Amino acid sequence: MADPLRHWRNFLARPNDDRVKIFGIAVLVALASAVVVSVTAVTLKPLQEENAQVERQARMDAMLDTLPGLRDVMAEAGVDTLETRVVDLSDGSFAPQIDAAAYDQQAAAGDPATSIALPPDVDVAGLKRRANFAPVYLLEREGDLMLIVLPVHGAGYQSTIRAYLALESDLETIAALTIVEQAETPGLGARIEDTAWQALWPGREIANAAGEIVISVVRGEASSPYEVDGISGATRTGNGITNMLRFWLGDHGFGPFLQRLEREGL
């Protein structure tokens, strides 16, 4: 029977400048590194996901704190956070069969069994696939809707941009837009996270008198209630946000849900 240790000792006994030994050591180092990286990635993934969720919740809380009087309304309603519910994006109905606390929209979007492929003419936000269901965050008082927050995401210039879009009870006026994840160009597109730029969003309107979703980030200064000032040197990032909002507020995003909510209420 062959002795593996003997082969290993013979291999190590080769001169250090031997090509077989150099190549063999290189392969072993590469394999060991790959194993370490894979184990580390698998081990740390739950922690990374937990940290990301904590960060998103912190940004949600920070957004709520910027809305005048909202914390007072929440105190009156006896709640310290918004209610999370899951929506069926195909028809805009609530989906009580989905556990809102456990639902992972991002994972669902990557699974063909729980998502749909978006044709190019529809996919203005550059998503490729859209999950069948999505969470929404609601604040209600005595059955009346006070605030709704929609999680939205889409392709920017260099990254996927994720944000929370808060709408007032009329479902047409923006209460806030908070960017929760982005990796755009530092000093340019990354300025979408600046407090001053995000402060431009409250009071903007998402649709015109005909009901068309026309909210947009424009080059230069805004000139209508449906526009927000663009960031100099970050036109593509601004376009990405425009496309992201128009998709998620449209027929293939939260549009059917918002229409149903307007007709039927909570």
pLDDT at 68: 65
Residue 213 forms beta bridges with which residues? 207
The CA distance from 161 to 221, in Å, is 22
Q: What CA–CA distance (Å, rounded) separates 248 from 251?
A: 8
Ranges of the chain with pLDDT below 50: none
Q: What is the pLDDT of residues 24-41, one digit of tens each?
A: 888 888 888 888 887 777
- Confirm if 202 and 174 have CB atoms less than 8 A apart: yes
Q: What is the pLDDT of residue 77?
A: 67
Query: What is the C-alpha separation between 226 and 228, in angstroms, rounded?
Result: 7
Domain shared by 28 and 84, yes or no: no
- Chain center to CA of 244: 10
Count the domains in the chain. Answer: 2
Is residue 171 domain-shared with residue 42, that is, in the same domain?
A: no
Structural domain boundaries, residue 196: 67-264
User: Is 203 in the same domain as 169?
Assistant: yes
Q: Are residues 7 and 28 in the same domain?
A: yes
Q: Indicate if 85 and 149 belong to the same structural domain.
A: yes
pLDDT at residue 50, as a whole number: 66
Residue whose pair of structure tokens reads 């059917």 in the numeric block: 256
Residues 100 and 19 in one domain: no
pLDDT of residue 44: 65
* Beta-carbon contacts of residue 164 (< 8 Å; ≥ 6 apart): 59, 60, 63, 137, 149, 150, 151, 152, 176, 177, 178, 180
Same domain flag for 111 and 161 = yes
d(CA 205, CA 216): 10
Alpha carbon of 151 to those of 56, 62, 221, 223, 234: distances in Å?
Answer: 10, 15, 26, 27, 23
Which alpha helices (DSSP H) does the chain contain, by range? 4-13, 19-66, 70-77, 105-109, 195-198, 235-248, 255-264
State phi, psi for 253 to the nearest 5 degrees: -115, -120
Last residue of a domain, one of 24, 42, 66: 66
| pLDDT tens digits, one per residue of 46-79 | 666 666 666 766 777 777 777 766 777 677 767 7
Residue 8: its pLDDT value, please? 74
* 142 and 15 together in one domain: no
Do 22 and 53 sit in the same domain of this protein? yes
120 plus 27 within the same structural domain: no
Given 66, 95, 119, which residue is the final one in a domain? Answer: 66
Locus of tokens 């507020």: 249
- Which pLDDT belongs to residue 24? 83
If asked whether residues 164 and 184 sit together in one domain, one would say yes
Chain-centre distance for alpha carbon 107: 12
Cα gap 189→154, rounded to integer Å: 14
Residues 122 and 252 in one domain: yes
Last residue of a domain, one of 66, 82, 111: 66
